[in-house]
Structure 1
Amino acid sequence: MIRVFSIIVLFLGCVWTSKAQSILINGRIKDSMSGEPVENAQIIIPATGEGTVSGEDGFFSLSVSHEFPVELSVIHIAYDKEVLTVQNKKSTGIILYLNPKTTYLDEVTVMGSFENEKPYRTETISAKTITKTSISDIGMLLRREPNVSGVKKGAAGVDPVVRGFKYAQLNVQLDGGIKIEGGCPNRMDPVLAHVDINDVKNISVYKGPFALKYGPNLGGVINVSTYTPRFYDAFENHIEVFAGGQTNHTGFKNSFGVNGGNDVVAYYVKGNYKQYGDYKAGNGEVISSSLEQYNVGGKLAVKPAKGHTVTVGFDRSWGRNVDFPSLPMDERKDDTHIYNISYFGTDFSRIVNYIRFKAYNTHVEHEMDNKNRPFSDTVVAVSQIAANNTGGKFGINLNLWKGRLEAGVDYEQINKDGNRYKYLILQPNLPQVTEGLWNNAVIRNLGVYAEWQRSFTSLDLIAAFRYDYNTANSDTLFRRKMNGQVVYENTNTSSTFNNISFSVGLTWHINESNSLLFSLGRGVRSPDMTERYIILLPVSYDPYDYLGNPQLKPEVNYEADFGYRFMQKTAGALHVSVFYSIVENYILGELVPPSQVPPQTRGVLGVKKFINIDRARLMGFEFSYTTPQKYQWFARLNAAYTYGINPKAVQYIRENGEVVGEQIITNDPLNEIPPFETNISLGYGFFHKKLIPELDIRMVAAQNKVSVANYEQTTPGFVTLGFVLTWQQSDMFTLYAGITNLTNAAYYEHLNRRVIGSKSPLYEPGRMFYVNLRFYL
């Protein structure tokens, strides 16, 4: 017995000695200029070869069996190598700053080094998050973020909704200033539909009317950053290949890119192709959702002198035969041209931090028809629209008044023209009828902005101001019947607005871990093309033809945001935010008597004209938590909710397909507001996080707070499960394999439109298996 006891004691002693000799060192790797975490930095002990890699938040954890002091080498392709000596076993919580290689400094990195952390809610989606999903539409990807949803009408082109703000209430752009005007009146091709998801480096969502240097901002900014050329110390050339395939909505998305250069010239060229078929919902219903989209694009960057970069870029994309079962038409073709040139310069003086300039032109040719609709056997309609957006931006960042001031000017001009061609199948002798959708409409916006930041002992202050001079005009708005009779005519099409926006925000750093955030802002945006100039088309969620109103007033959003942020390496990161918004001159539709303007679309109840109501209110919150990076396992949780109110809504009473009266509904919920939602991600990193299984749980509540005035329908809640396995064999090869809608649930989002000609909802796909492969050589 004593012998057995002695063996056990000896064994436990050996185990304890082994454990005692193995010490855990952890810390965080950061960018010395921007303070941002550095991912994929290699932390190596040269003496033993032991090592690890920093995670998304820059955290690393390394088990050390070597005697102290220990020398660590930190290596990253975009940074200078650093060597750190750990003197004793108690050296935990290390923070190491890496200096970016001068040849790698791009515009975003340098700009970030002159900015404080935002005092308002922002969401960021990285390229890694994009690559590991089966999603091929940017708008659909955004629906995973707290208080970000999207209006879905078909196989692509999900239109983002942020805190209840949508369409032109959001400022959606590319690379900090490139704007795109879609062609379709029903927004089957919003801005994000013209960008391939494989070209996206990251997406930033700035919530609220606070980020004013991006342009007119009522409810938020969505900035999509695409890949840029990378400079190298000596000439290098790299190839990137991506291939993804899936079942259900069967199809694939592929891309091939080449990038390289030296310390003077850098280039980036990439092509993408994707094709999908119809999909089955969880209940077995087949949803028309086929599409074909492809593009080619590239950028060339030149450094004529140290600290100065000139970049030219282009993107040419094609969309073919994209199904939209919730709209009267499908997209037959969509051709997009994007051209831009930019300059970014530093090293001017002690006062001037940087100067930047950008100019662009985007052109969209959009064609759609109703040839796949049941009623096309009597009337065939083909719409063709040309939309052009030209603009530019100049900004300078200065060290002034013990802080940093960025001031600049931007300009945008939108030109839009389009017609619908109709002819009767059963009466071929009648001439083809041409109906104007837009009639040479033009909107111009000239803006001047300034944003000042200053840091005090425990406070960060940011204040912004913006002035916009907005003008618009169009040729006469008119519509004729097929027999030539004039239905509508409006010659009063010009308008001019002087808009003033401003915001102020404070971040109070209570201590190293806790911060309070407060922002207050006034954002103004002028009416868009549809609200001003659309001519009798059913462009909204309800069954009415809509008329543009050239004399609409700009919407004005007064918003207050309050937040709390907690960050600690041993406890994780927590962020809570609440907001309250009052929108004056909120734009809605008002019924026009049929004696004045009769409807022109089959099946609608009448005609609505866009008008301003006094005000609407929106309020809500976001909550998010992420576990610390020091653990092999991880968990992420977010929850969000928005509620909107129209204090005095008008309900048009319907009987037998006609409007027979009206009544006032007080405090009516705003329509198309998503319900409460929670997302949970759980995972574990094996083999130094080279193999990561991850489970995603999405729980969406029923939406019962719907607009009574607009006959909005309630939607049931649902729960979906997803699973993805990531295997990063090396920096050169990564595999992602996953399952979406694991339980094959039959569900649909509240913002999904109904299938045209029926009361059936547009269901989401049922269970789907997918595999993505990424090679980088």
Structure 2
Amino acid sequence: MKIKSLLSGTRMFFCVVVFLAIGNDAYSQGKSIKLMDKQDGTPIPDVHYTYNGQSGISDEQGVILLHLKLGETLYLSHVQYGKQSIASSDVISAGNSGILKIQEAENYLLPVTLVLVRPETGGAGTLEFSAQSKLAHDAGALLESVSSISSIRKSGTYGFEPVLRGFKYDQINLVLDGVQTASAACPNRMDPGASQVPINMITQAEILKGPYSLRYGNVFGGTINFKSSEPEFREKATPVGRLGTSYETNGTILRTEGVAGVSGKKADFRVFGAYSVGDDYTDGEGVDIAARFNRLNWGGKLGLKISEAQTLGVMVSNNFAKDVDFPALPMDLRKDNTWLINASHSATFYEHSLSTWKTSLYGTFVNHEMDNLDKVLDPRMMDAYTDASTQNYGGRTELRFNFDRSHVFAGLDYRSESAEGHRTREMLMGPMAGKVFIDNVWQDAEVHRSGLFGEWHVHRTGYQLVFSGRLDMNNSTVNDPDARFSSIYNDLESNTVHPSLSVGGTRFFNEKISLGLWLGRASRSAGIAERYINQFPVGLDPYEMLGNPNLDPEINNQVDLILAFQEGSMRLDINVFASALRDYISSEIRPDLQPAMSSAPGVRQFVNIDKALMTGFEGSWKQQFSDNLSHDLSVAFTYGQNKDADEALPEIPPLDVRYRLTGSFADNKIRPEILLRHSFKQDRVATSYGETKTPEFTVVDAKIAWQISAPLSLSGGVLNLLDTAYYEHLARSVRSAEARPIYSPGRSFYITLSLNFL
């Protein structure tokens, strides 16, 4: 029996060895793989590839030859598709099928930054703390992970307003899925568009810097495009879901989010929701900062595959916030209720010059209420309440045509924005006690924008050129003008036409070095607040702002120079930019006008200044030291100057340096991380706006993520490890006798748990 058992074991061992040898030999055989576009199935020539010591370029039919080996990653590089890494399992599958489909990187060569919010399963960024990102309750705060973006803060935890390279408000085109917008109903912008984004349904934020990519609307200083998840169709109906929760100690912040649905062959339906609540936090000096917030987001998304070439999509989302503290403003948010509705259709055409046709329609409805009832006022001269709303309608349709080594985008879009609201003031003291005043804040204003756009990408071996153009028609008016406002201006309507043009390209000198140059000219008309705000304190200082319907369009003439160097696992990027601004929209004090409220020092009127300048740079250095250790160093700086007044432009963030050290252990299941950020002092300030200098500071965060199993992950860490007392340059000051800036939170511990079956 023992001899028989031994012989059986020997035979088994011999069979296993033979099987493995055959298997390894099979994988080592040369396999022809055809590289094809994921969208339209066309072959992709001139793709540089590196794989297990092999390298080459795909032929005219997109074919490459690989000797497959388990565990090896395929690296691809192409002027149109960017740099991509293909996991070993996908390479083996491609070897068996003979086809590998890759996704085009449409904006790869532009001055662009991608913030990965929810990486795809199995992707290289699976543990980039994505669970914590999905739980974020404010997209503005999430964007601060990019060194070139800062935020105007009027609250400690809510309503962060993105500032990109010094451009802000309507100078930034912020959209959802390339089309949908949300306008702040609050005159003080407690509810900026970024605060309305349903983060847990977003996969990435695409940050396009400068006036170069003109496809997503009238862009002046840059575009921030939040992309929601695409529908996933499966051969067999499969339930999908995700559930996450986190707790943060400083401010007792509790966050939860979840997704549940079914993915089938013809339909993909998901419902989603997120709830976050927090209280006051303590800063690094031990001072309590008013920071209450309460936010609920919920909705659903449906994708239908109506044929092999056509899909329909519908998403409905509701954001509801209440009882949010804004210590830098005269009122607090009492209630903000926003609905976002959009529908889309996509068609793919095979073996035609017309490749795709995508159309989207949307509506956004914001209802906002705020008051001063919770403000500690001594003496309390009055009670104030504001009820305001905005509505946005619009749509976009875009065609893509593929030609020999070039492709073209062409389309049109439309946006309609309206705002109305009134402030009620009940006088409690003085000779006017008992009287009630009603202020017409928005005057039922409207702005309508229609646009035609086109973008031509030319591909040649070693370089790519992009020509982009746009023509916008802008019309604005008011339906309920205030008598005092009408007495200042004779004409309250405006009709303007805006041509915008850009040209740029990137030259690949070899596999290591590339150089890009981009030139653009864009103009934009003033937004609703700049044209029609009716004496409301919405700026940096407490002056009441007066809109100006006679503003000229502001113009941005910009250039970006981009140098990239990559060798092995090291990559260096340097981006230098300069913007010559004409008719820049600013403001000036009008001593001849009286403020509506005695607490305001005066009235500021929006005006054009002849010349202004913004210039600066961004740089990053990324390197994979080993299989277990990598780092990322980034730096960003902007210089802004009002050439007319010979002083700095207001609200320009200082030089910012960040260093991230990341580890990867236990087969990438455990990832510790240390992040150091140093913000230099900002002593270039606009004193005419009451702007003050900001001291430098250094903040250290520490994190660790653990992939417990395929669906289950756990992460935690400490924010502001050294309990540094600091405040951002763009943080507004608390309205009190001391006028102390809103300091950021002191040391805070957090933990996050996520269960993912998507």
**After superposition, what is the alpha-carbon deviation per residue over 1:220-255, rounded to whole angstroms, capped at 9, x for unaligned?**
000011223311121111110011111001121101
Which of 297, 300, 306 lines up with 1:298 in the alignment?
A: 300
Q: Are 1:131 and 1:198, in contact at CA under 8 Å, matched by a contact in 2? A: no
Which aligned pairs between 1:350-361 and structure 2 lie closer than 5 A? 350-361=352-363
> 2:305 and 2:625 mapped to 1: Cα distance?
38
> 1:52 and 1:380 mapped to 2: Cα distance?
68
Which of 93, 98, 101 lines up with 1:81 in the alignment?
A: 93
Q: CA deviation at 1:602?
A: 3.6
* Alignment gaps of 5+ in structure 2: 1-27, 39-43, 50-68, 77-82, 119-127
> 1:265 and 1:393 mapped to 2: Cα distance?
24
1:117 and 1:264, CA in 2 relative to 1: closer, same or farther beyond 3 A? same
**After superposition, what is the alpha-carbon deviation per residue over 1:290-336, rounded to whole angstroms, capped at 9, x for unaligned?**
10000111111111111110101100110011111111111000000
Q: Are 2:507 and 2:516, in contact at CA under 8 Å, matched by a contact in 1? A: yes
1:210 aligns with 2:206: no
Identity rate of aligned residues, in percent? 31
1:409 aligns with 2:400: no
Q: Are 2:590 and 2:604, in contact at CA under 8 Å, matched by a contact in 1? A: yes
* Larger CA deviation: 146-155 vs 397-406: 397-406
Q: Are 1:515 and 1:564, in contact at CA under 8 Å, matched by a contact in 2? A: yes
Which of 430, 433, 436 lines up with 2:437 in the alignment?
A: 433
SS in 2 for 1:81: helix
> 1:383 and 1:174 mapped to 2: Cα distance?
28
Q: Are 1:734 and 1:773, in contact at CA under 8 Å, matched by a contact in 2? A: yes
Q: Are 1:116 and 1:453, in contact at CA under 8 Å, matched by a contact in 2? A: no
* Equivalent residue, structure 2, for 1:542: 541
Which of 743, 754, 758 lines up with 2:733 in the alignment?
A: 754
> 2:478 and 2:129 mapped to 1: Cα distance?
43
> 2:100 and 2:177 mapped to 1: Cα distance?
25
Amino acid at match of 2:601: L
Amino acid at match of 2:680: A
* Equivalent residue, structure 2, for 1:4: none
Q: Are 1:357 and 1:395, in contact at CA under 8 Å, matched by a contact in 2? A: yes
Could you tell me the TM-score, scaled by structure 2's length?
0.85
1:613 aligns with 2:609: yes
Q: Are 1:329 and 1:373, in contact at CA under 8 Å, matched by a contact in 2? A: yes
Which aligned pairs between 1:57-456 and structure 2 lie closer than 5 A? 74-75=88-89, 81-83=93-95, 98-99=100-101, 109=103, 112=104, 115=106, 117-127=108-118, 128-132=128-132, 135-154=136-155, 155-375=157-377, 377-400=380-403, 402-426=405-429, 430-456=434-460
> 2:705 and 2:569 mapped to 1: Cα distance?
25
> 2:457 and 2:370 mapped to 1: Cα distance?
47
> 2:423 and 2:283 mapped to 1: Cα distance?
33
SS in 2 for 1:715: coil
> 1:707 and 1:717 mapped to 2: Cα distance?
18
> 2:519 and 2:542 mapped to 1: Cα distance?
37
Q: CA deviation at 1:537?
A: 0.8
Q: CA deviation at 1:371?
A: 1.1
1:567 aligns with 2:547: no
* Equivalent residue, structure 2, for 1:662: none
Q: Are 2:444 and 2:481, in contact at CA under 8 Å, matched by a contact in 1? A: no
Which of 741, 750, 757 lines up with 1:770 in the alignment?
A: 750
Q: Are 2:71 and 2:88, in contact at CA under 8 Å, matched by a contact in 1? A: no
> 1:80 and 1:437 mapped to 2: Cα distance?
63
Q: Are 1:230 and 1:260, in contact at CA under 8 Å, matched by a contact in 2? A: no
> 1:396 and 1:413 mapped to 2: Cα distance?
22
1:755 and 1:746, CA in 2 relative to 1: closer, same or farther beyond 3 A? same
* Larger CA deviation: 135-144 vs 156-165: 135-144
1:461 and 1:617, CA in 2 relative to 1: closer, same or farther beyond 3 A? same
* Larger CA deviation: 317-326 vs 260-269: 260-269
> 2:383 and 2:34 mapped to 1: Cα distance?
60
Amino acid at match of 2:89: I
Q: Are 1:204 and 1:223, in contact at CA under 8 Å, matched by a contact in 2? A: yes
Q: CA deviation at 1:543?
A: 2.5
- Aligned residue pairs total 680
Q: Are 2:207 and 2:223, in contact at CA under 8 Å, matched by a contact in 1? A: yes
* Equivalent residue, structure 2, for 1:738: 717
Q: CA deviation at 1:638?
A: 0.3
Amino acid at match of 2:388: I
**After superposition, what is the alpha-carbon deviation per residue over 1:608-635, rounded to whole angstroms, capped at 9, x for unaligned?**
1101011110000000011138632010
1:502 and 1:565, CA in 2 relative to 1: closer, same or farther beyond 3 A? same
* Equivalent residue, structure 2, for 1:458: 462
> 2:92 and 2:499 mapped to 1: Cα distance?
45
Amino acid at match of 1:646: N
Q: Are 1:235 and 1:260, in contact at CA under 8 Å, matched by a contact in 2? A: yes
> 2:515 and 2:451 mapped to 1: Cα distance?
32
Q: CA deviation at 1:399?
A: 2.2
Q: CA deviation at 1:167?
A: 0.5
**After superposition, what is the alpha-carbon deviation per residue over 1:661-684, rounded to whole angstroms, capped at 9, x for unaligned?**
xxxxx2x11111111111111121
> 2:314 and 2:726 mapped to 1: Cα distance?
44
* Equivalent residue, structure 1, for 2:650: 671
Q: CA deviation at 1:639?
A: 0.5
Which of 578, 581, 588 lines up with 2:579 in the alignment?
A: 581
Q: Are 1:230 and 1:267, in contact at CA under 8 Å, matched by a contact in 2? A: no
Q: Are 2:110 and 2:208, in contact at CA under 8 Å, matched by a contact in 1? A: no
Which aligned pairs between 1:660-699 and structure 2 lie closer than 5 A? 666=646, 668-699=647-678
SS in 2 for 1:139: helix
CA RMSD of aligned residues (A): 2.8
1:528 and 1:692, CA in 2 relative to 1: closer, same or farther beyond 3 A? same
* Larger CA deviation: 573-582 vs 602-611: 602-611
Q: CA deviation at 1:401?
A: 7.0
Q: Are 2:533 and 2:547, in contact at CA under 8 Å, matched by a contact in 1? A: yes
Amino acid at match of 1:528: G
Q: Are 1:507 and 1:515, in contact at CA under 8 Å, matched by a contact in 2? A: yes
1:74 and 1:293, CA in 2 relative to 1: closer, same or farther beyond 3 A? same
SS in 2 for 1:82: helix
* Equivalent residue, structure 2, for 1:68: none
Amino acid at match of 1:447: G
* Equivalent residue, structure 2, for 1:657: none
Q: CA deviation at 1:211?
A: 1.0
> 1:615 and 1:131 mapped to 2: Cα distance?
45
* Equivalent residue, structure 1, for 2:550: 551
Q: Are 1:478 and 1:490, in contact at CA under 8 Å, matched by a contact in 2? A: no
* Alignment gaps of 5+ in structure 1: 1-24, 39-48, 61-72, 86-95, 101-108, 481-485, 650-665
* Equivalent residue, structure 2, for 1:638: 634
Could you tell me the TM-score, scaled by structure 1's length?
0.83
Q: CA deviation at 1:350?
A: 1.8
Q: CA deviation at 1:689?
A: 1.2
> 1:190 and 1:206 mapped to 2: Cα distance?
19
> 1:402 and 1:686 mapped to 2: Cα distance?
43
* Equivalent residue, structure 2, for 1:661: none
Which aligned pairs between 1:452-491 and structure 2 lie closer than 5 A? 452-475=456-479, 477-478=481-482, 490=489
* Equivalent residue, structure 2, for 1:495: 494
Amino acid at match of 1:766: G
